[in-house]
Amino acid sequence: MTTTQTKSFITIKNKRFHYIWLRENCPSCRYAAPYQQLYDPNISDRPEKPIPLSIELNEETLTIDWDETPAHRSVFSVEWLLKNSYDPQPEVESDNNILWDRAKLEFKPPQTYNPQTTNSDVWMEQLFNLGFVVLENIAPEKLESFLESVGPIYNIYYGRIFALETKAKTKESIPSRDGCPLPPHNDLSYWGGHRLAQFLYCVENQNPGGESTLVDGFRVAQDFRQDYPQYFQVLLETPVQFWLVDHNHHYRFCNIASILECDSSGNLTTVRFSKRNCRPHLAFEELENFYQAYHAFFRYLKKSDYQYQFHLKSNNCLLFQNFRILHGRTAFDPELGNRKLKSGYVDWNFFVGRKNFR
């Protein structure tokens, strides 16, 4: 195999590799499994610009002896080098978000998957693309182990898996809020750890009402940005407070963040909306303008054209991105049947890590 060498890099099959990068990625200086660097007490004594004393290249390996004391040899797999080449810089994999509204999903309904018979890569692709997926035929006793096969369940202050239950009752015993519709919202806006996957697992649903409602927050925000660019900027640039006070457990949570977040390229990364937890505390001159933008965005979220609704069946688990998908429910009459769900969260980083491992 031919190679080209300069003072700072070597070229292998038209791919350039700096010596400093090769020395930093020496296989014998890293743990094999997590690929983290081994602790080396002499690392500060190495030359700032590593210099090879000798280089030997064949079809399978690149061997470099470095000008160091004590002597050190690095042996690289050529296949690994080409796979991890940064020349040219590899493109960052996009999220491949498929933005949707009700009409799009009703025209082509999303598939429901059985995780016991479907490869996780398949249903996870829909979770990344659409922001949600419905998984069927998960027995109640298998729910926890299934979720933990991806990552640990988030332990929040009221538990890891908690019940959302409405039993059939007499009119006299029904609280006024039981069975009321829930408008689209994101959970845990009052916590800093908002980037989570949320699950809603149906233990029992004998009620004809109470349909699950999902809204693609990225799609709504995209349209809102086009129609009301000034209001979009207000929601993007104005940090507001999200509160929760729990008198029973003596907690007072407060998170200060904006309703919308974008990355450096202007792509949406987060929608953070909870009407019941948002308590803006702004300067007098800012408050009225903020509420105009805030209420305008809320009206968009409540438009039926954006809301995809369906009846979550027993032993089915709805899994969705809490930072993109807003969820709610339609109204129902608790007298007409039991409705019992379980809910909780898994850190989204575990889903990203699983996807990256493919």
Confidence (pLDDT) at 6: 80
> Is 14 exposed, middle or buried, given 0-12, 13-18 or 19+ CB atoms closer than 10 A?
exposed
Q: Tens digits of per-residue pLDDT, 167-180?
A: 545 444 444 457 88
pLDDT grade for 242, boundaries at 50, 70 and 90: very high
- Domain 102-356, second-level architecture: 4-Layer Sandwich (3.60)
Over the chain, what is the mean pLDDT? Answer: 90
Confidence (pLDDT) at 91: 63
What six digits make up the tokens of 179? 């069975």
Rg of the chain over Cα atoms, rounded to whole angstroms, equals: 26
Query: If we measure between CA atoms, which residue out of 109, 345, 144, 307 comes closest to residue 212?
Result: 307
CB-based contact 17:64 (threshold 8 Å) = no
DSSP letter string, 253-272 = EEEEE-SEEE-TTS-EEEE-
Per residue in 241-268, is it b (16+ CB within 10 Å) or e — as a string?
Answer: bbbbeeeeeeeebebebebbbeeeeeeb
Confidence (pLDDT) at 192: 81
% of residues, the chain, pLDDT over 70: 89
The 3-state DSSP class for residue 111 equals coil
The 3-state DSSP class for residue 12 equals strand
Q: Tens digits of per-residue pLDDT, 4-58?
A: 788 899 999 999 999 999 999 999 888 766 667 765 655 556 677 899 999 999 9
CATH 3.30.2020.30 domain position(s) in the chain:
3-83
CATH 3.60.130.10 domain position(s) in the chain:
102-356
Comparing 91-95, 153-157, 316-320, the range with the smallest average pLDDT is 91-95
Work out the number of other CB atoms within 10 angstroms of the CB of residue 198.
22
How is domain 3-83 classified at the CATH fold level? NE0471 N-terminal domain-like (3.30.2020)
Q: Is the pLDDT of residue 283 over 70?
A: yes
CB-based contact 307:102 (threshold 8 Å) = yes
| Helix 217-227 vs helix 229-237: crossing angle, to nearest 10 | 130
Q: Tens digits of per-residue pLDDT, 181-217?
A: 899 999 999 988 779 999 999 999 888 889 999 999 9
% of residues, the chain, pLDDT over 90: 72
Q: Which segment, 45-49, 60-64, 69-73, is predicted with the most confidence on average? A: 60-64
Of the two residues 328 and 5, the one the predictor is more confident about is 328
Amino acid identity of 70? P
Q: Which helix (H) or strand (E) holds 318?
A: strand 317-321
Confidence (pLDDT) at 175: 47
Helices (H), ranges, the chain: 19-24, 78-83, 102-107, 120-130, 143-148, 217-227, 229-237, 284-301, 348-356
